[in-house]
Amino acid sequence: MPKTIEIKVPDIGDFENVDVIDVMVAEGDKIEKETALITLETDKAAMDVPSPYAGTVKSLKVSADDKVSEGDVILTVEVAEADDEEPAAEEAEPEKEPDEAPGQPEDEPKRKSEPQPKAGEYQGNVDIECDVLVLGSGPGGYTAAFRAADLGQKVVLVERYDSLGGVCLNVGCIPSKALLHVAKVIEETHFFAEHGVKFGEPKIDTGALREWKNSVVGKLTGGLVGLAKRRKVTVVHGVGQFVSPHHLEVDGKDGKTAIRFSNAIIAAGSEAAMLPNLPDDKRIMTSTHALELEELPQRMLVIGGGIIGLEMATVYDALGVEISVVEMTDTLMPGADRAIVKPLEKRIRKRYENILLNTKVSKVEATKQGIKVSFEGKDAPKPQVYGRVLVAVGRRPNGGRIGADKAGIKVDERGFIPTDKQQRTNVEHIFAIGDITKAPLLAHKATHEGKIAAEVAAGEKSAFDARVIPSVAYTDPEIAWVGLTEAEAKEQGIDFGVGEFPWAANGRSLAMGRDDGVTRIYFDNKDGRIIGAGIAGPGAGDLISELALAIEMGADAADVALTIHPHPTTSETVAMAAEAFEGTLTDLYAPKKR
**Mind telling me the catalytic residues?**
567
Residue type, 308: I
Shortest approach of ligand NAD to residue 410 CB, angstroms? 22
Cα angle: 118, vertex 120, 121; to 5 degrees: 140
Counting contacts by CB under 6 A, is residue 24 touching ligand NAD? no
Residue with the shortest CB distance to ligand NAD: 306
Shortest approach of ligand NAD to residue 575 CB, angstroms? 25
Distance CA 538, CA 525 (A): 30
Q: How many residues bind ligand NAD (CB under 6 A)?
A: 26
Distance CA 390, CA 571 (A): 35
Q: Which stretch binds ligand NAD (CB under 6 A): 40-48, 327-335, 371-379, 550-558?
A: 327-335
Q: Which stretch binds ligand NAD (CB under 6 A): 13-21, 78-86, 158-166, 387-395?
A: 387-395
Give the H or E element holding residue 145.
Answer: helix 139-150
Query: Can you tell me which of 269, 305, 517, 532 binds ligand NAD, judged by CB under 6 A?
Result: 305
Distance CA 375, CA 361 (A): 5
Footprint of ligand NAD on 244-283 (CB under 6 A) = 275
Query: Can you tell me which of 304, 343, 470, 483 binds ligand NAD, judged by CB under 6 A?
Result: 304
Query: Can you tell me which of 12, 155, 290, 308 binds ligand NAD, judged by CB under 6 A?
Result: 308
Shortest approach of ligand NAD to residue 359 CB, angstroms? 7
**179 vs 361, which CB is nearer to ligand NAD?**
361
Shortest approach of ligand NAD to residue 334 CB, angstroms? 5
Give the H or E element holding residue 379.
Answer: none
DSSP 52-67: SS-EEEEEE---TT-E
**273 vs 510, which CB is nearer to ligand NAD?**
273
DSSP 8-state symbol, 529: B
Counting contacts by CB under 6 A, is residue 329 touching ligand NAD? yes
Footprint of ligand NAD on 530-569 (CB under 6 A) = none
CA distances from 456 to 232, 298, 462 (A): 20, 52, 6
Q: What is the CA radius of gyration of the chain?
A: 28
Distance CA 55, CA 80 (A): 7
- In the stretch 458-477, what mask flags binding to ligand NAD with x, by CB under 6 A? --------------xxx---
**Closest residue by Cα to residue 484 from 548, 541, 542:** 548
Counting contacts by CB under 6 A, is residue 441 touching ligand NAD? yes
Counting contacts by CB under 6 A, is residue 303 touching ligand NAD? yes
Query: Can you tell me which of 309, 343, 370, 403 binds ligand NAD, judged by CB under 6 A?
Result: 309
Q: Which stretch binds ligand NAD (CB under 6 A): 41-49, 245-253, 386-394, 462-470?
A: 386-394
**Are residues 54 and 67 in contact, defined by beta-carbon separation less than 8 angstroms?**
no
**Are residues 536 and 478 in contact, defined by beta-carbon separation less than 8 angstroms?**
yes
**Closest residue by Cα to residue 424 from 136, 142, 108:** 108
Distance CA 319, CA 332 (A): 22
Query: Can you tell me which of 20, 361, 456, 548 binds ligand NAD, judged by CB under 6 A?
Result: 361
CA 463 to chain centre: 19
Distance CA 137, CA 160 (A): 9
Counting contacts by CB under 6 A, is residue 360 touching ligand NAD? yes
Counting contacts by CB under 6 A, is residue 175 touching ligand NAD? no
Shortest approach of ligand NAD to residue 394 CB, angstroms? 4
Counting contacts by CB under 6 A, is residue 392 touching ligand NAD? yes
Distance CA 150, CA 157 (A): 14
Query: Can you tell me which of 334, 459, 513, 554 binds ligand NAD, judged by CB under 6 A?
Result: 334
Contacting positions for ligand NAD (CB under 6 A) = 275, 303-309, 311, 326-329, 334, 360-361, 392-395, 440-442, 472-474
